């Protein structure tokens, strides 16, 4: 039997499966990643309250100014560092990583490494 699901639908299925195990708590919130063709977005979320605590993306003017001339993988690393800075300012050090159904490769991996370089532990 052929499955006629798109790549995006398969990613959403994987993400739902991951989310059954990965939960953000006040002590250890969830670092969630979303990747589009042009941009990458990251949020740190407390799932018990349903609140986004910290966010960063390549679309923010403050970050976009630092990204000119960089490849998308390097842009992901910069977003990870900025997210980690903002998280540390709010007292967040430990997070659980939610790759959003994407493979841990390329921009998603670079964002995670950038967040680690910025001081987040996961």
Instruction: Report if residue 56 sits inside a domain.
Output: yes
Is the pLDDT confidence value at 101 over 80?
Answer: yes
Instruction: Report if residue 2 sits inside a domain.
Output: no
pLDDT confidence tier of residue 5, bands split at 50, 70 and 90: confident
d(CA 55, CA 35): 14
Instruction: Report if residue 39 sits inside a domain.
Output: yes
pLDDT confidence tier of residue 100, bands split at 50, 70 and 90: very high
Instruction: Report if residue 1 sits inside a domain.
Output: no
pLDDT digits (tens, 9 = 90+) for 26-69: 999 999 999 999 999 999 999 999 999 999 999 999 999 999 99
99: left (phi > 0), else alpha (psi -120 to 50), else beta? alpha
d(CA 50, CA 74): 30
Question: Whole domain around residue 59: which residue ranges?
Answer: 7-117
CATH number at residue 41: 3.30.420.100
Question: What's the pTM value of the predicted model, to 2 decimals?
Answer: 0.90
Instruction: Report if residue 122 sits inside a domain.
Output: no
Q: What is the rounded average pLDDT of the residues 77-91?
A: 97
pLDDT confidence tier of residue 3, bands split at 50, 70 and 90: low
pLDDT confidence tier of residue 4, bands split at 50, 70 and 90: confident
Beta bridge partners of 54: 44
**What domain count does the chain have?**
1
Q: What is the DSSP string of 88-121?
A: HHTT--B-EEE-TTS-SSTHHHHHHHHHHHTT-B
pLDDT confidence tier of residue 75, bands split at 50, 70 and 90: very high
């Amino acid at each position: 039997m052929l499955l006629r699901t798109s790549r995006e639908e398969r990613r959403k299925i994987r993400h739902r499966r991951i989310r059954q195990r990965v939960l953000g708590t006040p002590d250890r919130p969830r670092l969630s990643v979303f990747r589009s063709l042009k941009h990458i977005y990251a949020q740190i979320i407390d799932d018990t309250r349903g609140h986004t605590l910290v966010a960063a993306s390549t679309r923010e003017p403050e970050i976009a100014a630092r990204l000119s001339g960089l490849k998308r993988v390097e842009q992901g690393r910069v977003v990870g560092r900025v997210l980690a800075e903002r998280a540390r300012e709010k007292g967040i050090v430990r997070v659980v990583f939610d790759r959003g159904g994407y493979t841990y490769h390329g921009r998603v991996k670079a964002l995670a490494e950038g967040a680690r370089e910025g001081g987040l532990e996961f």
